[in-house]
Amino acid sequence: MSGRKIKFSLVYRDMWQSSGKYVPRVDQLVKVAPHIVDMGCFARVETNGGGFEQINLLFGENPNRSVREWTKPFNDAGIQTHMLERALNGIRMNPVPADVRKLMFKVKKKQGTDIARSFCGLNDPRNILDSVKYAKEGGMIAQATLSLTYSKVHTAESFIKLADELIIGGADEICLKDMAGIARPAWLGKIVRGIKELHPETPLEYHSHSGPGFAMATILEVCRAGVDYIDVAMEPLSWGTGHIDLLAVHAMLEDDGFDVPAINMEAYMKVRSLTQEFIDDFLGYYIDPKNRYMNSMLIGPGLPGGMMGSLMADLENNLASLNKWMVKRNKPLLTQDDLLIKLFNEVEYIWPMLGYPPLVTPYSQYVKNLALMNVMQIEKGEARWSMIADNIWDMLIGKGGKLPGELSPEIVKLAKEAGKEFFTGRPQDLFPDALDTFRKEMTEKGWDFGQDDEELFELAMHPQEYRAYKSGAAKKAFEEDLAKRRLEGGGINAGTAVSAPVVEASAADLKPTTMIIDVDGEKFKVSVEYGDFAVTPSTNGHAKTIAKAEHEAAATNGAVKDIIAPLEGKFYLTKESSETPLKVGQTIKAGDLIGYVEAMKTFNAIRSDIAGTVAEICYATGSEIEEDDVLIKIK
């Protein structure tokens, strides 16, 4: 293979999302783009897709403008741009109607994206081949993806067979997506050689995360086996839960005799400097320092690097909730490391029982979320599996596609007890076309459909986030959160100077920091955090209740009983437009659905354990709630 060309793709979007929560603003992206071009070593740049557009909406920026302005410098320079999309789930976490999926490829091509990297979280070829067809109809290069997972059911032969089916089905290229960096070099080399023997002219691209430590050896092996493109990151966001570094890979491959492009180091240093500037500006507050380290403990659970950015934030929130519960019962507190190890062990335990779904978005989140719920319930003396979110049930019963392995008898029994019916048909058939509904909404609200219907697409793909963006609520919430983080420090920017006003001591500083709360005759000493529990307006204008302690102190009297939140998150009365929300005065039976708590990107159905009449709905839909908050009062 001496002298064979290897081309590089910079995963500038994924660099950020594998490190933390947010990506740079459009003005920052446009600022860095010319210098990426000047580096002269990239044949491709990953510009959008995945969670990119949701993140734009979350900080109040129009994603369509971002994609158009960000891709243009690369289009002008002849550098191919590519996006990541999740087949049945498009560029969100849950299934997308076919007409919305088709519109996505047309819009993204017109916005300047050349290649659609399409993966199914279950490696179901039916879902991937739909994307291949839609991408080609939209004028894009269709890069079908193998979501690499290492287990007894994910054999080299199974991946070679899948690639063969996808190429015969119309895929222009194949991406080997090693989202957790757990692909063993020899194993993946065998897969690459097998694909190249069947389809020697089909370009192959390898995408890996550095986390567990295999990636450098694996890259050398797959290049020797015939891979054409390697995804890379660069300082200061390479390594850790992110991706391997351009300079290290370049030197390794050059030494092995491959033909690799020269790097303009002056431009490299400019990109490096600007990336650090963006971290210092605000993005560093959303990067957990632990995500900058490699961790070989990830070999066991196989959790992907792209998820680790949000995992540590989830752990922080759940640890706080769990430790509140511990304090009330005089139990020893857990550290974040305690919870992390328990989580890793639980993922390893339950993954085979769940049919070995590839640990990639959204199914990595589902497995992780279920494992974390199990850990928290077990710590509280409850049974495993006592809380399974609706999204997770959909995965288990086949609504997202076919699982690679078999469900354990225990899970099958739980499904039957919950009244779940298994589905073996084509997943897309479960989600009918919906663009007309969104067209009607935009017309009624007087919203512009946008160039090439791109605003219609954005609403249809991300309804809740787009509405919050249009109302200004998203930008307001982001700015408040960023101001709080800057004041408190944290993230990778912990310890840096904070541009926040100095506040002199006042009477407000003399408020008590602890209280004794009497709940049904039982006294608890609680900490009082005024900043967190002040009355704040929710996005719909309703005021949130002042303190969780007030809920607990208001003991039910007479016939009024409370339905309590089993976990913290956002409370919703409905999750689909077809559902009818609960109303005051409505009669309900034990077991009836009263709403949902969205936590860690999944919707957890909340059901009443009593019959009666709804006396009060304590929170507006979309409100932030905490574990043990009273959601509904029944009489």
End-to-end CA distance of the chain: 76
Question: Which residues make beta-bridge pairs with 172?
Answer: none
326 burial type by CB count under 10 A (0-12 exposed, 13-18 middle, 19+ buried): middle
Spans of all domains in the chain: 300-430, 507-634
Residue 629 CA neighbour count, 13 Å, CB half:
23
Give the model's pLDDT for residue 247: 98
Q: What's the per-residue H, E or C state across 29-48?
A: HHHHHHHHHHCCCEEEEEEE
Could you give the 3-state DSSP secondary structure of residue 549? helix
353 three-state secondary structure: coil
Write down the pLDDT at residue 548. Answer: 38
Query: Alpha-carbon distance 98 to 548, whole Å?
Result: 43
Residue the block writes with tokens 């033909």: 259
Whether the pTM exceeds 0.95: the reply is no
Beta strand pairing status for 229-232 and 514-519?
unpaired
Distance CA 353, CA 341 (A): 19
Token pair listed for 442: 């935009």
Give the gyration radius of the chain's Cα atoms: 25
pLDDT of residue 143: 98
Q: For 60, left (φ over 0), alpha (ψ -120 to 50), or beta?
A: left
How would you classify the pairing of strands 141-147 and 115-118? parallel
Which amino acid would we find at residue 246?
Answer: L
Q: Which residue has the tokens 């390479």?
A: 238
Task: List the structure tokens of 93.
Answer: 């976490």
Over the stretch 109-128, which tens digit does the pLDDT of each residue have? 999 999 999 999 999 999 99
Strands 204-208 and 173-178: parallel
Burial of 393 (0-12, 13-18, 19+ CB in 10 A): middle
d(CA 223, CA 221): 5
In degrees, rounded to 5, the angle at the alpha carbon of residue 166 between the alpha carbons of residues 165 and 167 is: 95
**Res 609: pLDDT:** 80
Q: In whole angstroms, what is the distance from residue 18 CA to residue 237 CA?
A: 9
For the chain, helix, strand, coil in percent to 5 are 45, 15, 40
Within 10 Å of residue 434's Cβ, how many Cβ atoms? 16
In whole angstroms, what is the distance from residue 37 CA to residue 251 CA?
A: 20
CB atoms within 10 A of CB 471: 12
Q: What is the pLDDT of residues 482-509, one digit of tens each?
A: 999 999 888 888 755 444 333 333 333 3
- Which residue ranges of the chain lie beneath pLDDT 50? 1, 497-558
| Angle formed by the axes of helices 454-461 and 98-111, nearest 10° | 130
For residue 318 the two structure tokens come to 């759940």
Amino acid letter at 274?
Answer: L
**What's the burial of 504, exposed, middle or buried (CB within 10 Å: 0-12/13-18/19+)?**
exposed
**At residue 566, what is the residue type?**
P
Query: What pLDDT digit, counting tens, does each position of 179-233 carry?
Result: 888 899 999 999 999 999 999 999 999 999 998 899 999 999 999 999 999 999 9
- Cα–Cα distance for residue pair 537/297, rounded to 1 Å: 42
Q: What are phi and psi of 245, to 5 degrees?
A: -90, 135
> What CATH number has the domain spanning 507-634?
2.40.50.100
Q: How many CA atoms lie within 13 A of 151 on its CB side?
A: 22
Give all strands of the β-sheet with 561-564 in edge-to-edge order: 561-564, 630-634, 612-617, 587-588
- What tokens does 579 get? 């559902």
Q: Which of 196, 238, 250, 188 is nearest to 214 (CA)?
A: 188
Bridge partners, 567 (sequence order): none
Closest listed residue to residue 154, CA positions, set 328, 339, 365, 403: 403
pLDDT score, position 302: 66
Single-letter code of the amino acid located at 37: V
Tokens read off for 128: 């991937």
Phi, psi of 510 (to 5 degrees): -95, 10
- pLDDT given for residue 529 in this prediction: 44
Q: What is the distance between the alpha carbons of residues 445 and 265, in angstroms, rounded to a whole number?
A: 51
Report the DSSP pairing between strands 587-588 and 612-617: antiparallel
**Cβ(37)–Cβ(310) below 8 Å:** no
Structure-block tokens of residue 577: 């437009």
**For position 506, what pLDDT does the model report?**
35
CB neighbours of residue 325 within 10 Å: 14
